């Protein structure tokens, strides 16, 4: 198999898989695929409705099946955080893509998360978010080809680090300030040149008129 054209982002919910994925896709000229949306479109229901109907275990089977059958190229793939429970799915994603783990501390994840059910997060009875974090972290580390720690990094910093690790050339920053200054100077120069030419002719015209008036007054 040649160079993999797909990239899969894994990590806890709220780790920024969608945000990073969308920007990374634009940066690298790839498509963005959110597998949660693929699941919803295939079943015609929201994730929370599927969880309610099939239960946590049933939903994970659905998730594993859909992710294992994903057929895409030149794409940034953003699966749900529980994708790492599916052996078939992860084997398939490892085969068709470079897997990148977006790592964040538990404290950061907790502060970012809102309603767990709305995000499609499945918790066992009596399980806490901290328990889930500790349970999943080793799985993310196990399947990752690359790990990117996002702590104290902006979205742009994270994207740059991923591109660097993938061997992509860093994007050149556009010097808008310098461009604006050069345009302003050019405009100022043009105005000065125009005023200089127009000013001289205008001045000559005034002097000519004054001379005519002067001679007319003396003639009278």
Residue 2 annotated as binding?
A: no
Same domain flag for 161 and 180: no
Residue 15 annotated as binding?
A: yes
Residue 218 pLDDT greater than 90, yes or no: no
Same domain flag for 106 and 49: yes
Residue 17 annotated as binding?
A: yes
Burial 28-53 (b: 16+ CB within 10 A, else e): bebebbbbbebbbeeeeeebeebbee
Residue 180 annotated as binding?
A: no
In a domain, residue 170? The reply is no
Residue 18 annotated as binding?
A: yes
Residue 174 annotated as binding?
A: no
pLDDT digits (tens, 9 = 90+) for 64-99: 999 999 999 999 999 999 999 999 999 999 999 999
**Across all residues in the chain, what is the average pLDDT?**
82
Same domain flag for 116 and 70: yes
Q: Report whether 124 contacts 82 (CB < 8 A).
A: no
In a domain, residue 137? The reply is yes
Question: Which positions ≥6 away from 22 have C-beta within 8 Å?
Answer: 32, 76
Same domain flag for 135 and 114: yes
* DSSP tag of 46: -
Radius of gyration of the chain (CA): 31
* DSSP tag of 115: -
Same domain flag for 154 and 205: no
Same domain flag for 31 and 109: yes
**Which CATH number goes with the domain that contains 159?**
3.40.50.300
Start-to-end Cα distance in the chain: 104
Residue 64 annotated as binding?
A: no
What percent of the chain stands above pLDDT 90?
60
Q: Report whether 4 contacts 72 (CB < 8 A).
A: no
Residue 186 annotated as binding?
A: no
Same domain flag for 44 and 108: yes
pLDDT digits (tens, 9 = 90+) for 173-205: 445 444 555 555 556 665 556 665 555 554 555
Most confident among 43-57, 58-72, 155-169, 184-198 (mean pLDDT): 58-72
Same domain flag for 140 and 219: no
Domain count, the chain: 2
Residue 53 pLDDT greater than 50, yes or no: yes
Token pair for 150 = 């996002």
pLDDT score of 122: 66
Same domain flag for 160 and 192: no
pLDDT score of 171: 52
The model's pTM is 0.74
The whole-number average pLDDT for the span 114-122 is: 66
In a domain, residue 17? The reply is yes
Residue 135 pLDDT class (50, 70, 90 cuts): very high
Residue 16 annotated as binding?
A: yes
pLDDT score of 51: 86
In a domain, residue 171? The reply is no
Domain final residue pick, 143, 165, 187: 165
Token pair for 5 = 């054209």
Same domain flag for 105 and 194: no
Question: Which positions ≥6 away from 71 have C-beta within 8 Å?
Answer: none
- Rounded CA gap, 113 and 99, in Å? 23
Residue 212 lies in domain: 176-220
Same domain flag for 112 and 211: no
């Amino acid at each position: 198999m040649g160079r993999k054209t797909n990239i899969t982002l894994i990590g806890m919910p709220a780790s920024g898989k969608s945000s990073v994925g969308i920007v990374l896709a634009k940066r690298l000229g790839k498509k963005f695929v959110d597998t949660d949306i693929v699941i919803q479109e295939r079943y015609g229901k929201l994730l929370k409705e599927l969880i309610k109907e099939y239960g946590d275990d049933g939903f994970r089977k659905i998730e594993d099946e859909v992710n294992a059958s994903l057929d895409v190229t030149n794409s940034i793939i953003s699966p749900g955080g529980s994708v790492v429970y599916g052996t078939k799915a992860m084997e398939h994603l490892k085969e068709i893509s470079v897997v990148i783990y977006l790592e964040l501390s538990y404290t950061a994840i907790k502060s970012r998360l809102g309603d767990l059910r709305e995000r499609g997060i499945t918790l066992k009875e009596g399980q806490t978010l901290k328990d889930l974090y500790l349970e999943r972290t080793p799985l993310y580390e196990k399947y990752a080809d690359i790990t990117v720690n996002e702590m104290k990094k902006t979205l742009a910093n994270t994207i740059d680090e991923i591109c660097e690790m993938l061997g992509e050339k860093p994007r050149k920053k556009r010097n808008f300030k310098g461009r604006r200054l050069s345009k302003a100077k050019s405009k100022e120069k043009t105005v000065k040149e125009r005023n200089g030419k127009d000013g001289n002719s205008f001045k000559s015209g005034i002097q000519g008129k004054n001379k005519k008036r002067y001679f007319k007054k003396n003639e009278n």
